[in-house]
Structure 1
Amino acid sequence: MKDRFKIDEWQIIEEGFDPTLNKFAESVFSLGNGRMGHRANFEETYSGNTLQGNYVAGVYYTDKTRVGWWKNGYPEYAAKVLNAANWIGIDIKIGAATLDLHYCKVTAFRRVLNMQEGYLERSFIAALKDGRQVSVNARRFYSIVDDVAGAIRYRITPLNFEDNLVITPFIDGDVSNQDANYGEKFWEEVSRESDNDRAFITLRTRKTNFEVCTGMQVNIVQPGEAGNTASRFIEKEKFIGRETTLWAKKGEEITIYKYGVNISSANTPKEELTAVAKASINKVAAKGFEQMLEEQARAWAQKWKESDIVIEGDVTAQQAIRFNIFQLYQTYTGEDPQLNIGPKGFTGEKYGGATHWDTEAYCVPFYLATASPKVTRNLLLYRYHQLGKAIENAAKLGFDNGAALFPMVTMNGEECHNEWEITFEEIHRNGAVAFAIYNYVRYTGDQDYLAAYGLEVLIGIARFWSQRVNWSEQRNQYVMLGVTGPNEYENNVNNNWYTNTLAVWCLEYTLETIGWLKQQRPEVYVALAEKLRFHEVPETTKWKHIVEQMYYPEEATLGVFLQQDGYMDKEQVLVKALPEKDRPLNQQWSWDRILRSCYIKQADVLQGIYLFEEKYAEDVIRRNFDFYEPRTVHESSLSPCIHAILAAKLGEEQRAYGFYLRTSRLDLDDYNNDTDDGLHITSMAGTWMSVVEGFGGMRVRNGDLHFTPFLPVKWESFSFNILFREAVLNIKTSKNGVVLSNRSDKEVCIHVYGNAYHLKAGSVQKVATDVSFAH
């Protein structure tokens, strides 16, 4: 675990330059606006430890799957997000020497991510080998107002010399991915052009044929007389820069304004890319850096008004939750139903930038409560529009009759994950898609979605489960063989409790939805049944039989659900007995050793208990929690948040708080020693869940909100905002009680500690704290 950044409510602050931790810092200080983003690479040249990364949403490459022995059903390719043209670069030469912190003596260095206003600022003083010193202050951001644009203000001051300064802002499309084979390049140049202070390059991806036009405009401001200033464009394949030479005087600050745009064929016709790029660069340059920055601050103020969580008395916890919320909104805004949420967002290449089950299981609850319902609806529509591909994916594995298997990893609906134990076996992702539909409908009350889109997806998923199970003559029950549950430190197991439980729930929910649609909108049901060739009686008869006769593994002597058949055959050595040198296991142990151990990567049985909590008595939840948590190494970013919520449910304040800190500061403190290659964006939604569903105890039952809040010992108070069925609510918990504020013109019923309160528009209700929830 690292302790690198200063604790501040609204900022992430790095003081002092440590080259060995630069990639870690590049991830933490990443910027984005939902449409594009980049890692916190330096503007000027840096030859040290760095991972360059600029990313444009929706643009990817299909790399051919390479395996030692081909298996039927394998995906044809492994998709990856591409490192795109680097538009932020500004080369600086002082005389003949290049400003490069790798070769400089850095005597002062400070980097600040201002989360309140949405920008990154870096300042330093550096001495070249010959003793000449410069001071630099650079501020940049991706606009959430003009979401195709970013802007940089770069100030440089000679401290002890006068000399020629050669400034070359550039666009460099000659880039590759870190994981490219033998330095393989994925971009080809289509065109480039320049005029006055503007330049544009259009690049095309190999295979997938996406095109992106990247443009820049540069303005250089020097005090007093410009002196001997000369400019020229430098052009070569996939590169264009504007070189300006000027005389720099001691103590006089020179300011470089650079505006950049990325226009993608994912949402703009290819023949219009350059024209749109020119219009966009003209628009933002006409505004100027300061106006854009003011607009950015106002836009972020509105986002914080909707989604902020305020924690009083614990700045470490406060900084962490805001960092997580900030990165979520930098990654996804919900404006484009073609886009989804990659586990690394715009902060790195790992996991290929593709869509995983993380979206439905973790991100949907966050966006449901903090944004317009259309944002979550777009996430669901993303899957609906890929239903045809899900049916194709299932057919490749031998399923028929419209059975749908949504991919574990995807860019466009096709499976593109090439590890067999995931591709073929981690099928619980199907249940996450179904649960997201249920979650959306119960939260919003939008039954129209079920009728128009949801049931069609549910039937495809139900058909898959009905074919994936098989009847065991020995048990006289249905079983599910050869699966991988959420705990990926187990592969190819039989009867994973979570997967079996989720499959049955999916069948039950589909049956319930069919009954509702037949009764409420019979004409829609008839049309849908005809479209899907749905034969209700034979199909639903089998579904009901599976529901009644599914096998669930249990350990009766301990009174716990068994993660899978044979789990108790493993040597039961608890995590606390593991030597520190063995952690994390995935970086220290062989895969064979991990698979033979009892150690759990992330919540598995407990994931199911989290989803279906209302089905289980508290003593059942406690027994399972107390059994599985001591065996869990939490080496998935998705793990601590689920444990925090369940610990809070059980009134385990100390454990809940510990898990909250772990999930919320996972990247800031680099708990798993893996932040170098990017942040864990999707698990950040779990951090929000830890506060709202954990300490706030928020649940939705029978169309109403329920809360059972309690206050962690270290906190003086905490409050959060909730958007629920057009009502805007603020829930504040302190030592003096709970304050419910209805900040909308809609009346709403809220349940706190089991008591109902009807909040009229604009009203405030005070409730005494129930101390039984604070033990």
Structure 2
Amino acid sequence: AFYAWESQEDGIERCSKFNVTDPITGEKIRTYFNEKQIHISADIAYALDRYIRLSGDKKILEEGGKELLKEVADFYLSYATREKDGLWHLKDVIGPDEYHERVDDNAFTNYMAAHALSLAIRYKAREDVASYERFLSKLYLPKPNANGVIEQFEGYFKKEDVSLSELRSRLRDPRDYWGGPKGIATPTQVIKQADVVALLALLPDLFPLSVKKANYLYYFPRTEHGSSLSASMYALLGSEIGELETAYDFFSKSASTDLVKPKKEFAGGVYIGGSHVASYGGTYLSLVYGFAGLSLSKNGKIAFFPHLPKEISSLSIPYFEKGKKKVVTIKRGGSILMEEK
């Protein structure tokens, strides 16, 4: 199953092939968001697993959940290309960073696809999962380099390493779209939003803290945050690695997305203001999973490992765990009180 990038209730793809326009010439610019962001299917499998572990509702697996996981796994098997190295590669894709289109082996995409395959195996999406196990054992997963940094996609490190201020000075018009075939960011390492950082935030058990910190510090100055979804991912990972001051700044930015005048209201002639509901979801994640440090085990057990910034003296968070309403109160100094309501 290759899920729609943008859809209404019917699930039919509604994302245009020409999302942006050259603000000077008026030429419509071809984009590939709806065709190449194949990580969307793995994202949905990820969400299903989180729901099952938090709610304890395994009936959903027999009500379409297993079929979902099977179809997602089958999609990646059909999409992958076997190379001379004997490994399966996911080529011609777009990761969360939409400025770099049609790249090969985007780290976020490959690792999320691997996670989706592991879910199909764990929940036995089909009677015989041997084909999934074989594929997973041979799926290419980019490893950290000598400095602990994971290359966002094949060839990323070879691109021009330029500062955001220098790149911004190359704009012909403030409304220019930074990505696509003629975008100023395309030949550079400047990215639209959290990509590898998002991967490490969503799958926190993949790598040790040292790798998380190395990637945070590497991609931080190279991220333009052209998406309202970016700040929350940096807040989430930043809180875990101890970058609390910066994490709080990103949390505040995410929370106030629609309360302050944005630095960039247009992208390729398209107005990107308005309400950013998904950004608020990210704000919640950075507060609960970041500062409160909510951790969820494979069997759904919840624990808290807080990282409170100096601006927050205490947090009180109501939540449901397997149908039971609970409240956790976290105070500076590490005090944690969990109550059932």
8 Å contact kept, 1:500–1:552: yes
What's the counterpart of residue 13 of structure 2?
Answer: 415
1:566 aligns with 2:155: yes
- Indicate the percent of aligned positions where both proteins have the same amino acid: 28
Deviations 1:48-101 (A, max 9, x none): xxxxxxxxxxxxxxxxxxxxxxxxxxxxxxxxxxxxxxxxxxxxxxxxxxxxxx
Equivalent position SS for 1:699? strand
Please say which structure displays the higher CA radius of gyration: 1
What's the counterpart of residue 131 of structure 2?
Answer: 542
Equivalent position SS for 2:236? helix
Instruction: Provide closer, same or farther for how the CA distance between residues 544 and 586 of structure 1 changes in structure 2, counting only shifts above 3 A.
Output: farther
What's the counterpart of residue 646 of structure 1?
Answer: 237
Give the drift of 1:653. Answer: 1.1
8 Å contact kept, 1:585–1:594: no
What's the counterpart of residue 483 of structure 1?
Answer: 93
What's the counterpart of residue 655 of structure 1?
Answer: 246
2:335 pairs with one of 731, 738, 750: 738
Instruction: Provide closer, same or farther for how the CA distance between residues 676 and 417 of structure 1 changes in structure 2, counting only shifts above 3 A.
Output: closer
Equivalent position SS for 2:123? helix
CA distance in 2, matches of 1:602, 1:455: 32
CA distance in 2, matches of 1:450, 1:627: 39
8 Å contact kept, 2:90–2:105: yes
CA distance in 1, matches of 2:121, 2:172: 45
Q: Output the amino acid matched with 1:470.
A: T
Instruction: Provide closer, same or farther for how the CA distance between residues 584 and 722 of structure 1 changes in structure 2, counting only shifts above 3 A.
Output: farther
1:716 aligns with 2:310: no
8 Å contact kept, 1:644–1:655: yes
Give the drift of 1:574. Answer: 3.3
What's the counterpart of residue 292 of structure 2?
Answer: 696
8 Å contact kept, 2:93–2:101: yes
For residues 339-378 of structure 1, the aligned pairs below 5 Å read none
CA distance in 1, matches of 2:109, 2:179: 26
Q: Output the amino acid matched with 1:413.
A: G
CA distance in 1, matches of 2:203, 2:179: 34
What's the counterpart of residue 370 of structure 1?
Answer: none
8 Å contact kept, 2:4–2:13: yes
Instruction: Provide closer, same or farther for how the CA distance between residues 423 and 704 of structure 1 changes in structure 2, counting only shifts above 3 A.
Output: same
Which structure is higher in RCO with an 8 Å CA cutoff and minimum separation 6?
2
2:228 pairs with one of 631, 637, 645: 637
What's the counterpart of residue 466 of structure 1?
Answer: 77
TM-score when normalising by structure 2: 0.86
Task: Structure 2: give runs of 5+ residues left out of the alignment.
Answer: 18-30, 266-270
8 Å contact kept, 1:729–1:740: no
1:443 aligns with 2:54: yes
What's the counterpart of residue 705 of structure 1?
Answer: 302
Equivalent position SS for 1:630? helix
Give the drift of 1:739. Answer: 4.3
8 Å contact kept, 2:100–2:179: no
Q: Output the amino acid matched with 2:33.
A: I
CA distance in 2, matches of 1:456, 1:687: 31
CA distance in 2, matches of 1:686, 1:482: 28
Q: Output the amino acid matched with 1:541.
A: A
CA distance in 1, matches of 2:217, 2:68: 36
How many residues align structurally? 319
Q: Output the amino acid matched with 1:410.
A: S
What's the counterpart of residue 352 of structure 1?
Answer: none
Higher strand share: 1
CA distance in 1, matches of 2:78, 2:168: 44
CA distance in 1, matches of 2:258, 2:104: 34
CA distance in 2, matches of 1:459, 1:450: 11
CA distance in 2, matches of 1:460, 1:590: 31
Task: Structure 1: give runs of 5+ residues left out of the alignment.
Answer: 1-403, 516-528, 530-535, 745-775
Give the drift of 1:647. Answer: 0.4
CA distance in 1, matches of 2:104, 2:14: 24
Deviations 1:447-489 (A, max 9, x none): 111122200111111110100001102x221111110111001
Give the drift of 1:655. Answer: 0.9
CA distance in 1, matches of 2:119, 2:170: 46
Q: Which moved more, 1:685-694 or 1:580-589?
A: 580-589
Q: Output the amino acid matched with 1:472.
A: E
TM-score when normalising by structure 1: 0.39
2:322 pairs with one of 725, 730, 733: 725
2:109 pairs with one of 496, 499, 511: 499
